[in-house]
Structure 1
Amino acid sequence: MKTFIYMVRHGESPKTEGNERKRGLTDKGKSDVYRITELLKGEGIDVFVSSPYQRAILTIKELARCSGQEILIFEDLKERIFSNEDNRICDKELLPLLKKSFSDPNFALTGGESNTVCQNRAVTVLKELLKNYQGRKVVLGTHGAVMTLMMGYYDNQYDLNFLLHTTKPDVYRMEFNGQVLVEVKRMWNTLLLSSSAKPANSCQ
């Protein structure tokens, strides 16, 4: 029985200091919410789940509203904790940390978690989703690193190079037969998406 997991990486978020859980979306990120909705509203999504972080929730919130569904929040789908969950690491510091983490999956800074720990907690949730919603279509609001680690659990081509070439937002449809990954299709293509967003008509 086919089950589809739609990995929806969140839209652009302000690069400001502050609590990671509360960062929202930039104006571009907000516009892309409606492009996400346009892209996926015809897919017949049954279930919406998300990381507890606001930027992930907000990216799929309009699509869930149009589908008449609530978003189920799973704590263990949150982004990888790199050093301290309360604060964002700047881009200059993040890239070397990512390189080290993907070369040594058990590497972690003090107060942070390793790729292995993050992958284990997130994949545990994903396996439960595949079990509980077998034969259905599930949208998962997520983040770049944890998304890559979940996808990489099933296929090692989803590695650091893959992560560095993803966009904000991004959408990947994973097709499963039971717990076995069958196919991954990237659905987000900025070249094919309309440059205009129409919030008033997004559910039509």
Structure 2
Amino acid sequence: MVHRNTTAALVAMFGLLASVLLVGQQLHAPWAGGDGRVHIAIAAIRQEGAATVDRNGTVRPVSLHESIRRGEVVRTDAGGRMVLQIGFCHTLALDENTDVRLDDLVPGTYRVHLARGRAYLDTHLETPSENPDCGPLTITTNKTETAVVSGKLAIVNYDFKQTVGIAPVDTVAAVVVGSETGYVLKSAVEITETDPPQITDVLFDPTSGAAAEFYAWATQ
């Protein structure tokens, strides 16, 4: 009887510890292996076609309004599109064949990595906000970091060409390429992520070309 009670107590204790650890991981507590900051969860609010979420090699289909967390990779298939809600302000639309990793989901320091494909960010702000939940959002590629605090941004990573296209819309973007000094971008450019990088001014017209259908869908 004593042995049985001891075993039951140990099982209950380990169950409690596992629950506490799970909560700590959800809150990113340092003692649970986190960074001590509170990361929000984001979710898909619109979707067409197939898309998946990859967490450390475990892949699941995307479900609307299901939480997607830091470190996970959102991947759209051919013919797939989706819109992610980030905090209360920002939305990020993904075109087909696009991979985005969620690197930092702390309000005020949002950071995602565009490994390939096309995305359209809408901050839903005309001017910068003092609300930290509506703070800057940074999109990284292989060697480029692009941050905006208001307005909209179209960005595409042609990973097979080592080229990134960046187009601020009704805003300016802070861009850093490799180890170079950052600069303010007011119009569309293409950046070849070579050493040294090459930056070329280009025209951006979301109503024409192969991506016009995506931009129309993303902004409706």
- Given the two structures, how large is their TM-score scaled by the length of structure 2? 0.29
Greater share of strand residues, 1 or 2?
Answer: 2
Determine which structure has the larger helix proportion and give its number.
1
Q: Which structure would you say has the larger RCO, counting Cα contacts within 8 Å and 6 or more residues apart?
A: 1
